[in-house]
A and B are shown apart, each in its own frame.
Chain A
């Protein structure tokens, strides 16, 4: 392997990237767009959920409780109902996601037995939202009086969710505000790096075949591994640049805390880049058209990364079989690492397992990529 030839390829590739608008857009503009879109667009928080109330008592107590709901940022009361038929209609027509029903003996039970019940009817066709809404309702009711219970009933989706009647004192670690953005953004960074890295390199070999420059290149003494290294070096630099951009954007724009070490981030990001660039290169060497190669690149990075990396959907909630599949998804390890680095401030020693897994992945991919492209015409 000769450094002179690697450098020649790298210089040539850099000039080509600089003169290719499409590559520049993918390299520089796409990370920005995705950061904005996914950073703002994807949120698992529920705020200002539309609520209808059916106050069967109409007392001072019941009104005070409803004021609590109104004051909470989680709910906004959109209508006051007069009977159960209206409640059902409101849920059916999507006017609201939950209906809060205060029984006619609310105040009396509260003073008699020291405990009363409020009924929550939830639209559980989206059971995730229903669960969260019931949880929030519970906390609002608790805030009003410790001895109130919520009797929840779900519609449409999973079986009714019952409140256990146990008071929990919660203390949340790592993401104290329970802001789902803090949880999502590190995953978005992984998603961007995977997509940009694989997409850019997926074009690099197929472009040479398509433009007819490959035939001349393979008639020279250049080695396949030199071609690979020379071509990947500029993209590695771009990937690192994008990583820095994503970090700065996450911390200073979205105010996601970064608690880990920059060295650990640099090291793990390098490993991840080797994997994604190598995967892109493998695709490019296998598929000789640029369009085909870029489509495959999107397919093998975007889909698994967004669905199976645990970036938004927790892996331990997946069926066992699917959990097994996630071990093949290389972004899984990087997402785990990024979340720990951003939120937990873990050190490299805490992340030994995912880092090791990614290291092995990088070695295998680099080995395959070095031999992927054959210096011959078919």
Chain B
């Protein structure tokens, strides 16, 4: 009889405050094996602190965090055997080559030398980094650096990856490559906790936690989160999008308007009722615009709308 598999990552009532601010307030959640658990939210929402608490590099004021059942606060060294943490700031040695960095982390995690040398080649090849083995890490591009960080994180085959905004400052193509790798790891059963400031990236997670001022406002699958969005979202395309965004805020039944280039996304309580009203108001103002349509919310719309309801509800 095999025991019921527990959560790979679990936080219970985690609290951390810095002088003057609560970075994390009474946070509890758990992540199951093979999940890609996303932490999204604006800067300063507490994402980095949560990941640091889980990685055991920062002690919480109270509460517990466990990694594969091991208490991170009480037994950090044991927990560290099973996890890999990639800090937001590039943490590898820029004056060491790609090879030297990988070997260093393998040795720190006591990967046997034979196994280490057997792993390095295929890992670097699968990440497209084989040609850069002798290059200093400091001379790699942003995307390459992050991939190298991931290679170093994976060299000891951890069960859990904690990634703090790994794709910030990385070009879209490399970002897509990076996510391909993450999906591959998930197939292999690695549990991934990733924070991101890019909300379109958040949609790729299996579950997503929306952070706001140190608390987890929502935590669900991206699809369920979208379903939670109250009302409907309208799309108005216009060359005068900025002007439209400004005027439309004052109309009745509109909870928010988000400018997205030459589009405006407008959150309304009822599309049937509001589309004619908006069309009329904008026509009277003499602004040019394409027919108003109902659209799928992006993560950004969702985030704003959800936080708004959170704030207005008692």
A positions within 8 Å CB-CB of B: 2, 4-5, 7-9, 11-12, 15-16, 19-20, 211-223, 375-377
Residue from B89, B95, B109 in contact with A220 in the complex, judged by beta carbons closer than 8 Å: B109
Q: Evaluate whether A221 and B77 lie within 8 angstroms (CB atoms) in the complex, with A4-B110, A5-B108, A12-B104 already known.
A: yes
User: Which of A212, A213, A222 gathers most chain B CB within 10 Å?
Assistant: A213
Contact A15 B89 (CB under 8 A): no
Contacts of B84 in A (CB 8 A): 219
Q: Which residues of B contact A212 (CB under 8 A)?
A: 87, 89-91
Also in contact, A218 and B57, with CB within 8 A (given A16-B95, A212-B87): yes
Q: Are A213 and B57 in contact (CB under 8 A)?
A: no
**Complex Cα gap A15–B104 (Å):** 11
Chain A, interface SS category: helix
**Cα distance A219–B152 in the bound complex, in angstroms:** 12
Q: How far apart are the CA atoms of A8 and B109 in the complex, in Å?
A: 10
CB neighbours of A2 from chain B (8 A): 110
Q: Which residues of A have CB within 8 Å of B115?
A: none
Q: Which residues of A contact B93 (CB under 8 A)?
A: 12, 16, 211, 213
Is there an interface contact between A220 and B105, defined as CB atoms closer than 8 Å? Answer: yes
Point out the residues of chain B lying under 8 angstroms from A376, CB to CB. 57-59
Nearest-Cβ distance from residue A54 to partner chain B, whole angstroms: 69
* Contact, CB under 8 Å: A5 / B80: no
- The answer to whether A220 and B108 have CB atoms under 8 Å apart is yes
**Whole-angstrom distance between the alpha carbons of A9 and B224 in the complex?**
47
Q: Could you tell me if B95 and A221 are in contact, using CB atoms closer than 8 angstroms?
A: no
Contacts of A377 in B (CB 8 A): 52, 57-58
User: Which residue numbers of B lie inside 8 Å of A, CB to CB?
Assistant: 52, 55-59, 76-77, 80-81, 83-87, 89-96, 100, 104-105, 107-110
Cβ-defined contact, A215 with B107, below 8 A: no
Chain B residue contacts of A211, Cβ below 8 A: 93-94
**24 A-B interface contacts by CB (under 8 A):** A2-B110, A4-B107, A5-B107, A9-B108, A11-B104, A12-B96, A15-B100, A16-B93, A16-B95, A211-B93, A212-B87, A212-B89, A213-B92, A218-B57, A219-B87, A220-B80, A220-B105, A220-B108, A221-B80, A223-B77, A375-B57, A376-B58, A376-B59, A377-B57
**In contact, B104 and A8 (Cβ under 8 angstroms):** yes
A19 to B80, Cβ gap below 8 A? no
Bound-state Cα–Cα, A11 to B100, Å: 10
Q: Which residues of B contact A223 (CB under 8 A)?
A: 77
CA distance A299 to B215 in the complex (A): 47
**Residue among B76, B86, B95, B100 with most chain A CB within 10 A:** B95
A15-B80 contact in complex given A212-B91, A221-B109, A377-B52, C-beta closer than 8 Å:
no
CB distance from A223 to the nearest CB of B (A): 8
By the criterion CB–CB under 8 Å, are A216 and B107 in contact? no
Q: How far is the CB of B9 from chain A (nearest CB, A)?
A: 15
Contacts of B109 on A, CB cut-off 8 Å? 220-221
Q: How far is the CA of A12 from the CA of B96 in the complex (A)?
A: 8
B105's closest neighbor in chain A, by CB?
A220
| Shortest distance from the beta carbon of B145 to any chain A beta carbon, whole Å | 12
Which residues of the partner chain B approach A215 to less than 8 Å between Cβ atoms?
Answer: 57, 87, 89, 91
